[in-house]
Amino acid sequence: MTQWSWLGDDAATAQRRADLWRLLGPRPALAATPSGALISAQTIANARVETWRLALNSEEPVPAILVRPLNVPPRGLVLYCHAHGNRFECGKNELLLGRPAIQNPPYGETLAALGFAAIAIDHWCFGERNVGGVKSERAMVKRLLWEGKTLWGYRVHDTLSSLDWARSQPGLAHLPVTALGLSMGSTMAVWAAALDPSIAACVDLCCLAEYDALVESGGFDQHGEYFFISGLRNEFTAAEISALIAPRPHSSLIGRDDPLTPPAGVQSVNRALTAIYDSLGKPANWQQQVFECGHQETPEMRAAVVRFLDTTGVAINHERR
């Protein structure tokens, strides 16, 4: 099979997704349907905020936040993927509190104002899953590798299981889903949309660049251990993972001076995905924009995200009618 020969072939595309899951190793899967317990609910600004404890895996409960717009039914659901930045105390609360690399207001407020619901979880080793800072990401990477597993696989599993749970909640079952995140959250948004074809669209900020260019520039070493999957570069490029999203809408927002997105890697991804979306007859569904900044969201980036969510949400809902 040549690199892109599976495009447009449903069976071959499903096999490429299976290949990606295989590289992630065994998951902490549960036989039961994901479930949860409501811990609290409050109203802030234009949103109802619910905190939950979810049963998504066989090892530990998963703290989650579900945000709903007030007084109107949601027009879509955002799978919000939080960043890393070694801020292990933050996690899902980024959705409500933001972080220095993300513009104000935080996305929870912005999304609710746009009429979107949003789900965010604490990833393994973050937030309430790392109380007191005792759960080391590095230690968990090592333990899982010894067992033939990967921390990234565990995190992807919980992300997609949280989406399954969110879709079981009143009023959310049939909404179009957009995966959204910055930095580690960007990578999670891409992998989630690549592995789950029911996700309607993807927005990634400040992370999507080709692996070869990261190696050549040395930028790969600025990623945490979680980012590295044994054998991944032997079977996939970053562009090929993103190609599993095509022809669904995908917006990639990049900082020109970001060491995690070297220009050669950004251009390589853009060339590949431009050709892929053209070949599938949906050239407008791939958008890459480069901004004058480093590893952070700018006001111009936020405006681009809002524009994408607004226009893409309208288009997706129109197609679903």
Query: Which domains are assigned to the chain?
Result: 10-315 (3.40.50.1820)
Q: DSSP alpha helices (H): ranges in the chain?
A: 10-24, 94-97, 107-114, 137-146, 151-166, 184-195, 211-217, 232-235, 238-243, 263-279, 299-320
Q: What is the pLDDT of residues 130-176, one digit of tens each?
A: 876 667 899 999 999 999 999 999 999 999 999 999 999 999 999 99
Q: What is the mean pLDDT of each run of 10 residues along the chain (321 residues)?
A: 76 95 92 91 92 94 96 95 92 95 96 97 94 80 94 97 96 96 97 98 97 94 90 96 97 96 96 96 97 96 96 58 46
Q: What is the pLDDT of residues 228-273, one digit of tens each?
A: 999 999 999 999 999 999 999 999 999 999 999 999 999 999 999 9
Measured between its terminal Cα atoms, the distance across the chain in Å is 37
Longest Cα–Cα distance in the chain:
53
